[in-house]
Structure 1
Amino acid sequence: MSQHWEEPPEEDGLTLGPEETLQREIEKSKTLKVDRLRLRDEVEKLKVEKDDLAQKNHLLKARLTALGSPPVTPEKVSVLSRNILISALFLCFLTLLWFIIRD
């Protein structure tokens, strides 16, 4: 009588027979297979999304590089527009000064 018999604990407190235990294991196996298939589909979708995002990232980097390169013509326009702005401000200041002195 030194051997101790342990029954596996069941959720409802009842000991199941071999058929019920086998049926429960089959259900668990089916559930795991369904989960595995769902996860496999999700991994595939994520891979496609990752590839799409990598392609978009590459295109955006190319656009950023193209925009970041020093253009020759816009620099000249920028200097020209700055000179026009300074001239316009100077003329406005002179006009304001003329109105103040005239009164």
Structure 2
Amino acid sequence: MGAAAAFAGGPASAAPPGADYWSPQCDYGRACIFLANTPNKIWNVESCGYNPIQDHYNWAKAHGNAFTVTYADGRWDRVEAWTERPLDGNNLVVRVDVLC
């Protein structure tokens, strides 16, 4: 499975099964990040390891494996498995690393 870049206007809804995609919810087994200031726009990450991202997100939910969100300024937030937490919605997210 290839990693897909998450852009606010990206064509993720056309992604094949098992790939990263936009959804109005965090689906089972996914690392999810919620687009800042946009209700019900949630990027569901499927791929283990490095996933390039390029947008602002304000919430994260690990509906499965733990993951780390890295910001453009080098700071990061860790989301433990089966937990959720706020993200810095004013800071550009540049990667998500899913631990599998």
TM-score past 0.5 threshold: no
Larger Rg: 1
Name the structure with the higher helix share: 1
Name the structure with the higher strand share: 2
**Higher RCO (C-alpha 8 Å, min separation 6):** 2
TM interval, short-chain normalised = under 0.3
